[in-house]
Amino acid sequence: MSNPENTTLAPEPALTWSPDAPKGGKAVMNRVLKDGASVPLFFAQTLISSLRDVGYNNTTSAICEHVDNAIQAKATEVRVFFRQTGKKGDTVIDVAVYDNGLGMAPNVLKVATSFGGSMNFNNRAGIGRFGMGMKTAALSMSPVMDLYSWQEPRTYYSMTLDVDAIGRERTNTVELPDPTLMTELPDELADLFSKPLSFPASASEQSLMVEKGDDLDDRLGAHGTIIYMPCCDRLTHATARTLAEHAMKEMARVYRRPIEEGLKLYVNNRLVEAFDPTYAMAGARHARFLDTPEKTSRLMFAKKVSIPLREHGAETDDIVIRLYRLPIEQWSTLTRKTLRNDLQVFNGLTVTMLRNDREVFAGAMPDLTTRHTVTHWYRVQIDFPGELDEAFGVAANKQGVRLKGYVKEAIKKAIGDDITTINDEIKRYQGAQASARKGAQPSAAEARATDADLHQAKPLELTPDEEAQVEANLKTLAIALRRDGETDEEAFARVKASKYLIEFKHDEYWPFYHVEHRYGRVILTINTAHPFFEHLYEPLRKLGSTQASDDEDGGEAPAAEAQDGPLVALELLLLSLGRAQAQVTAQNEDARKILETLRREWSEAYRVQLTA
């Protein structure tokens, strides 16, 4: 038998909480461990402190939770405030969100203040689902959330969540008090609606909700809600200016559809103008920067695709995929500032996804499109219902998507061929534009090769038939090789004066260059569809353009640079190769076939090396 005196008792569990942990929570925990008290399902004191760390990408994402609730409450006006007070180095920022939605009755307000309390729990038809967003979003910014709501004029009910106060509670079950009835708002809150904020600096830029002489209570109306977060200690940015500007930029896109439908959304008393990354909305912000006939993108198609709610499941719901093509023909001639800064064409928002008309993702998705720069000139928009949240990987805080593999495959199957087609179409246009030869004069490489022909050991020769009809043949050739803006006569003069001609073609199946010898002319055709053009030719062309611009800015003529630049050297390399091939293959069919095979094999090996 064992000796009871030798039995070693397990040490009593000890709490190793941090010094700043909620003291009330520690007291409850010790009571549970020592006295065997009933264990609550949630330790309110620690839970509410932990929920402050629910991850939001930034302050704007957290604010969006409140805007979502306002829209769901049928608000037609929403105002977001970032109020900064105090001196530099010791500033305080308060955040508030007002809406004129339906408001909440006292009992509903109390439920809404609780975690998980929702009148629309798991209803996927709206924006919110779980009754957590308002609280977690507010506490992610401030340790205090003051909530005001009313359904009658001058009858404001308020509730407060205070992390520190709840942390001091020593009861196992923390209950919410009843709402407090007020007949007017506190001064610090009332000032938000009637006094200009520190940003924008000019009061004339701010459209106050309550102008001088107006009554605040009348303006607030018969129903509405205010969420107030004083003394915020966890904000993405340190100034009201940066917070407001980021919020305006993001919310203009996230809520573009509600704004288009009439929602008045203000940030620091400035009206938010809808920004549409697809450029399909005629009334969106981008339109005011354009004086071109085409002010919107063109809808290529709208496809409805059925997606299983769960992989291999029988139950499905529909998504709608839209492909928009930007008017590259007109917009590509705009200034770089207009394209980049005003229109934001190059912002990388190639794919945008909206859940129940509210954007949850905007960015690049190369798995669905491509990594090529052509994606700047089209947009993919996907609308999906809340029933597909799990399939699209939408979290409770609606920050981004994480598509399940089967969803991604279904989308790629539906639009893959269309994406390939539009990629090729835009590449062809870009290639044609990049390679366009303006004017009726030979290029630097063409002129230089022609001049150098006088010094070649073996001249280019015409066949007897070509010699007899050279004038007529050159006229026919000139018409075939006429450039944009050239008349037939100008093209003939150019072709007659130059023995070397460079042309461009966009063909996925061609080698990167092609050469012909006709009527005493070496005709070099560069394929803009081959990776050679994108990776070597076009960068050298842009380098030459940049150097020429720099020279012009400095007051020096760029002619010497144009004659000796790397692009000219590359063109001369290909022209000399074409000349040599023309000499070797003249009257030699076997040599022609061998060189043709060599050109194709070389071109394919080069393509693989550039793209593998």
Is the residue at 7 inside a domain?
no
Instruction: Verify that 63 and 180 share a domain, yes or no.
Output: yes
Is the residue at 563 inside a domain?
yes
Strands 500-505 and 358-363 turn out to be unpaired
The single-letter code of the amino acid at 183 is T
Q: What percent of the chain has pLDDT over 70?
A: 85
Last residue of a domain, one of 410, 433, 456: 433
> Sheet of 521-527: strands edge to edge?
500-505, 521-527, 513-518
CB 544 within 8 A of CB 567: yes
DSSP at 214: -
DSSP at 212: T
The single-letter code of the amino acid at 125 is A
Is the residue at 220 inside a domain?
yes
Instruction: Verify that 230 and 256 share a domain, yes or no.
Output: yes
Dihedral (CA of 163, 169, 171, 176) sign: negative
The residue segments making up the domain with residue 122 are 48-271
Predicted confidence at residue 31, as pLDDT, reads 73
Is the residue at 12 inside a domain?
no
Instruction: Verify that 446 and 423 share a domain, yes or no.
Output: no
Helix axes 538-553, 566-585, angle to 10 degrees: 140
Instruction: Verify that 56 and 98 share a domain, yes or no.
Output: yes
Instruction: Verify that 224 and 309 share a domain, yes or no.
Output: no
Is the residue at 16 inside a domain?
no
Predicted confidence at residue 163, as pLDDT, reads 83
Helix axes 589-611, 566-585, angle to 10 degrees: 150
Predicted confidence at residue 440, as pLDDT, reads 66
Is the residue at 39 inside a domain?
no
Q: Domain count of the chain? A: 3
Predicted confidence at residue 121, as pLDDT, reads 47
The Cα 602–Cα 612 span in angstroms is 15
Instruction: Verify that 400 and 301 share a domain, yes or no.
Output: yes
Instruction: Verify that 467 and 592 share a domain, yes or no.
Output: yes
Instruction: Verify that 461 and 535 share a domain, yes or no.
Output: yes
Q: Which two tokens stand for residue 324?
A: 């928009």
**Distance from CA of residue 609 to its chain's centroid?**
31
Strands in 17-119 per DSSP E = 77-85, 92-99
DSSP at 380: E
Is the residue at 356 inside a domain?
yes
Last residue of a domain, one of 271, 303, 318: 271
Q: Which stretches of the chain score pLDDT less than 50?
A: 121-124, 129-130, 548-562
Instruction: Verify that 218 and 264 share a domain, yes or no.
Output: yes
Beta bridge pairs of residue 517: 522
Is the residue at 510 inside a domain?
yes
The Cα 291–Cα 330 span in angstroms is 10
Dihedral (CA of 383, 384, 389, 391) sign: negative
Instruction: Verify that 498 and 401 share a domain, yes or no.
Output: no
Report how many helices (DSSP H) and strands (DSSP E) the chain contains, helices first: 23, 16
Predicted confidence at residue 550, as pLDDT, reads 45
CB atoms within 10 A of CB 585: 18
Instruction: Verify that 258 and 298 share a domain, yes or no.
Output: no
CATH of the domain at 126: 3.30.565
Instruction: Verify that 333 and 419 share a domain, yes or no.
Output: yes
